[in-house]
Amino acid sequence: MVGTKNTLKNSTTPRVFVAATRQNDGKTTASLGLMAAIQESHPRVGFIKPIGQRFVDIHRQRIDEDTVLMDRVYGLNCPLDEMSPIAVEQDFTRRYLRTANYEALAARIQRAFDRVAWEKDIVLCEGTGHAGVGSVFDLSNARVAKLIGAKVIIVSRGGIGRPIDEIALNQALFEKENVEIIGVILNKVMPGKVDQVSEFARKGLHRRGLELLGVIPHVRLLSSPTMDLIREELAAEPMNRADAFRNIVDDVVVGAMGAEHAAKLFRAGTLLIVPGDREDLIASVAAVRMGCEPIKLSGVILTDDLRPTQAVLRVLQDLPYPVLFTREGSYEVASKVHDLIVKTRPDDTAKIALIRDLIRSHVDVKRILQSIT
């Protein structure tokens, strides 16, 4: 067993730890919405993500991207490196297994929490994946929650059977670390099944001694990528002057058919993926623009390292949505777009406003506050 020497000085500031049963279940969505909801009654809310696996370099420091998001949305008055004390780099696990510096890492987390909690009413803590993530270096989510003395909310994807099975696995590890679970939030539930899921999930969770704190309906906007996210993922080159990179992609059309048939699929929110030499399809996009139909695509991606002629490029310059160029094939591009993990960004103002409304309307924030204050 690793040591559990306690260097945490702040044991009084209320704190809550948002965990999940799987990646992409909605921890960040819950954290974004809870921050706004909690601030309505407790204006000074701190934030920390003790262990980060996806990070960005800021002033030569590796900061978890969710920490950056929270800071930019809410203007948190705290150094970024304190809100994101440990970034799991590529060789982090191998280095830990060689040196086993648990005490130093645990102390770093506790010092960071003390700094984040300074003069705050409440601290919101965000985990990384399910309860066991980080166990290989002795800092599972359950252990981290224990280190900072936090009670836990578990976020799981909507449903009844599978979510409760997965919640039970997470519950066992939190209970092994003597961490109290406040309750469960079910996310991404199909709107027509919210009442049914609420009724039966509440009964199933009650049998395990857990409380259902909320059921959030699935909203496609939150899982749809923007053109900017796609551009970044593909490292694609912009081919025109349009800067509408916040356009949401709801549907994808791969240009593998004739222009006449493809044009029937063009509608608002569509991304067209087409080889750069299919000038008949590319011209049909311009024709839609110049015609009477009020259709606005989200964007176009030209693939296969094939650039259209200068005449076609001049037409593309006037399109009001982004046209991107990549050397990858259409199939590879379509697969990447399909598999893209959509993360909310600071400039996704419509998404953030929607998240706030969803949490306020569908989660019992008052019950959460009663449990930690």
Per-residue pLDDT reduced to its tens digit, 255-285: 777 666 666 777 788 899 999 888 888 777 7
Q: Rounded CA gap, 62 and 85, in Å? A: 9
pLDDT score of 284: 74
pLDDT score of 291: 47
Q: Is 71 exposed, middle or buried (0-12, 13-18, 19+ CB in 10 A)?
A: buried
pLDDT-derived band at 286, boundaries 50, 70, 90: low
pLDDT-derived band at 312, boundaries 50, 70, 90: confident
pLDDT score of 338: 87
Of 25-39, 80-94, 168-182, 286-300, which range is least confident? Answer: 286-300
pLDDT-derived band at 289, boundaries 50, 70, 90: low
pLDDT score of 73: 96
Domains plus CATH for the chain? 15-220+345-372 (3.40.50.300), 227-339 (3.40.1390.20)
pLDDT score of 357: 97
Pair 18, 125: CB distance under 8 Å: yes
Q: Strand 122-126 relative to strand 45-48: parallel, antiparallel, unpaired? A: parallel
Per-residue pLDDT reduced to its tens digit, 31-74: 999 999 999 999 999 999 999 988 888 877 889 999 999 999 99
Range with the largest mean pLDDT of 21-30, 55-64, 135-144: 135-144
The residue-averaged pLDDT of 152-171 equals: 93
pLDDT score of 292: 47
Percent of the chain topping pLDDT 70:
94
Percent of the chain topping pLDDT 90:
63
pLDDT-derived band at 25, boundaries 50, 70, 90: confident
Q: Rounded CA gap, 332 and 72, in Å? A: 33
Of 107-121, 153-167, 200-214, which range is least confident? Answer: 153-167
Range with the largest mean pLDDT of 6-20, 244-258, 329-343: 6-20
* Residue 276 token pair: 């750069």
Per-residue pLDDT reduced to its tens digit, 338-353: 888 888 888 888 899 9
CB atoms within 10 A of CB 115: 17
Q: In which order are the strands placed within the sheet that holds 212-217?
A: 45-48, 122-126, 15-20, 151-157, 181-189, 212-217
pLDDT score of 36: 97
Q: What is the pTM of this model?
A: 0.85
Q: Is the pLDDT of residue 217 over 70?
A: yes
pLDDT-derived band at 294, boundaries 50, 70, 90: very low
Of 74-88, 120-134, 311-325, which range is least confident? Answer: 311-325
* Residue 44 token pair: 């000074």
5 vs 142, higher pLDDT: 142
CB atoms within 10 A of CB 259: 17
Q: Is 286 exposed, middle or buried (0-12, 13-18, 19+ CB in 10 A)?
A: middle
Contacts 24+ apart (CB under 8 A), 60-63: 62/87, 62/89, 63/87
